[in-house]
Chain A
Amino acid sequence: NAGVTQTPKFQVLKTGQSMTLQCAQDMNHEYMSWYRQDPGMGLRLIHYSVGAGITDQGEVPNGYNVSRSTTEDFPLRLLSAAPSQTSVYFCASSYGEGRSSGNTIYFGEGSWLTVV
């Protein structure tokens, strides 16, 4: 069972570079989302998607883009990396509303990003 798969696990970027964090899930979940984890702040929602072709902003969307062309994939793009984006990024997925297990959210293992 693959679950939620994120790549890469570790990445070092220079300020101004762009990159994409990949996320894929094999559970046919409608909902996918990206969080960032920073010390003392817990996890904060960056962007989310309620289905293929539909995305929306979360709490801290600036500097990030997402797209959802398929149900399985939800990549997160850093347009021009800044040191403030040094963080651990988690992708998550779940079924949509109305399912009996709809409230269980599954996380990937995280991507550690450092911007220098």
Chain B
Amino acid sequence: GDSVTQMEGPVTLSEEAFLTINCTYTATGYPSLFWYVQYPGEGLQLLLKATKADDKGSNKGFEATYRKETTSFHLEKGSVQVSDSAVYFCALSGRYGGATNKLIFGTGTLLAVQP
């Protein structure tokens, strides 16, 4: 079945460092891909999404490109801030029980940014 694999954390970076969090997927058809962020003690917020191959999602300085040839959707940011410290989840919208619009999540990657 459909699945998402993302790099294990925690990822610890200094402020202003470059961030990459790897995400690869296995899916039938053409799923949409998402990155969600969860700040400490809060729920999930949609960070960015891409709905078809070669689309680039971007938000708050984060970017991810839907690469069908490598089945990847890596999250990048050029210069992280302490306020980016959170858990990041890669997800795809897969089919379940014949219906779409169900999210399949990776296990999450904890990012800790030090001043």
Contacts and interface: CB of A to CB of B under 8 A. Distances in A.
Nearest to B93: A103
A103 B43 contact: no
Given A42-B105, A43-B89, A58-B97, 13 more contacts: A33-B102, A35-B103, A45-B96, A48-B96, A48-B99, A58-B102, A59-B96, A96-B101, A97-B99, A103-B51, A105-B93, A110-B42, A110-B44
A109 B42 CA distance: 6
Say what secondary structure dominates the interface of chain B. Answer: strand
Interface string A81-116: 000000000101010110000111111111000000
Interface string B73-115: 0000000000000000100010011011111011110000000
Interface in B37-59: 42-46, 49, 51
A74 interface: no
Contacts of A50: 99
Interface of B: 4, 32, 34, 36, 42-46, 49, 51, 89, 93, 96-97, 99-103, 105-108
Interface in A29-65: 31, 33, 35, 40-45, 48, 50, 56-59
Contacts of B106: 42
Given A42-B107, A42-B108, A45-B96, A105 B101 contact: yes
A8 B106 CA distance: 26
A110 B39 CA distance: 12
Nearest to A57: B97
Nearest to B43: A109
A41 B89 CA distance: 11
A43 B43 contact: no
Contacts of B36: 107
B97 A92 contact: no
A95 B107 CA distance: 25
A108 B44 CA distance: 7
A108 B43 contact: yes
B113 to A, nearest CB: 21
Contact of B103 (A41, A43, A96): A43
Nearest to A45: B102
5 tightest A-B CB contacts, nearest first: A42-B105, A109-B43, A107-B44, A103-B32, A43-B105
